[in-house]
Amino acid sequence: MLNRSFWEGRKVFVTGHTGFKGAWLSLWLDALGADVTGFALAPPSEPSLFEQAKVGECVRSIHGDVRDLAHLQSAMAACKPDVVIHMAAQSVVRASYDDPVDTYATNVMGTVHLMEAIRRLERPCVVVNVTSDKCYENREWVWGYRESDPMGGHDPYSNSKGCSELVTNAYRDSFFPPETLSRHGVAVASARAGNAIGGGDWTANQLIPDLIRAFMDRRPCRIRSPRSIRPWQFVLMPLHGYLLLCERLAEDGAGFASGWNFGPSEGDAKPVSWIADKLVTSWGEGASWAQDGATHPAEAQLLRLDTSKARALLNWHPVLQLDQSLLWIVEWYEAFQAGKDLQSLTRRQIERYEYLLQDDAETCALATRRMRAAAAPLLTAADG
């Protein structure tokens, strides 16, 4: 569970708040009572969750580019943040082939600028750089990548995210070492997650948005790599991980200033075709898909994350299974088609997810009490 008292009134600086994940995060932070400042370019799609859910009403929104160090530094200095969550990125693999220079400029130098602005801020704060599961050197292993595995990436996007991780490590080691946290006060971590799905995603060349657009147009959706396996997770699952990580960094920066994986249960790493079939069934009339036979740039076929570290040390784990996630997604887009209040619906899904977290915490506590009660007679007997 999140500690609401931690977030109440806390100054949070979010880059990329106009994007899909950034908009969800901004609404959740607002619901937690945080004082949020967002720094980002205009929404990256039309339509966008940022506009549809009226996120601009809930945050102090600054139009800015992380490639502009002076503007980023000025905005951060004005905010005086307690927490910085860096999500601004060029986030599409195919777009990185079209414009690799912009991808590296945003994802690598944007991270450099973010870290440099924090260094010049000379103020204690918690920092989480959100990268991607694609930051690892992908060897198409059937087992999940651990946080200690080497960075890599064979396409410009994936490689730029690996570079962003290396930049984070270099700034942490050079300027914010955990062993001298009491002197500089800056706790820096990175969060690695991918294939976050949810309502309000309109990103081009992404599976769920492509399927939904095709369904609404009543045409088959052309899918590039139906056999590719990805770790699908509802968008609130990794966001919950980022927020928990921020709380732990504030409590024990030296112990948590490192890289962290956030991914779904092993059974929710599914082929693209499985997702497409499930959404076709849930959507109903007018929904279909077919394989795209055209030639496309290479993408990884198999990618899994090992989330043991987050489960053990953050007490984080998935509480929403993939089947249910897809139903929540259909609910959101059907509400969009019906012209309903999308901010209210998005907030309700956040509340619903928080209830699941609460139920999960209560279930775990009950199981712990039962185990202790069952062990008590054995301990007594052993003492005797």
Of the pLDDT bands very low, low, confident and very high (cuts 50, 70, 90), residue 373 is low
Q: What is the pLDDT of residue 381?
A: 52
Of the pLDDT bands very low, low, confident and very high (cuts 50, 70, 90), residue 177 is very high
Task: Yes or no: say if 228 and 192 are a contact pair by the CB < 8 Å rule.
Answer: no
Note the pTM of the prediction, 2 decimals: 0.92
* Measured CA distances, 202 to 48, 49, 50, 207, 240 (Å): 6, 8, 11, 10, 22
Q: What is the pLDDT of residue 379?
A: 43
How high does pLDDT run on average in the chain? 92
Q: Determine phi and psi for 265, rounding to 5 degrees.
A: -60, 150
3-state secondary structure of 383: helix
Q: What is the pLDDT of residue 365?
A: 53
Distance CA 124, CA 253 (A): 11
Other beta carbons less than 10 A from residue 357's beta carbon: 16
Of the pLDDT bands very low, low, confident and very high (cuts 50, 70, 90), residue 301 is low
DSSP string, 186-201: EEEEEEE---EE-TT-
Question: Which range is most confident: 221-225, 277-281, 376-380?
Answer: 277-281
Average of pLDDT values for 291-319?
Answer: 83
Write out pLDDT tens, residues 24-67: 999 999 999 999 999 999 999 999 999 999 999 999 999 999 99
Distance CA 281, CA 131 (A): 33
- Are β-strands 269-271 and 229-231 bridged in parallel, bridged antiparallel, or unpaired? antiparallel
**Angle value at C-alpha 234, between 228 and 236, nearest 5 degrees:** 145
Write out pLDDT tens, residues 85-125: 999 999 988 899 999 999 999 999 999 999 999 999 999 99
Write out pLDDT tens, residues 210-255: 999 999 999 999 998 898 888 899 999 999 999 999 999 999 999 9
Q: What is the pLDDT of residue 361?
A: 65
Other beta carbons less than 10 A from residue 73's beta carbon: 18
In what side-by-side order are the strands of the sheet with 60-63? 60-63, 35-40, 11-15, 83-86, 125-130, 186-192, 259-261
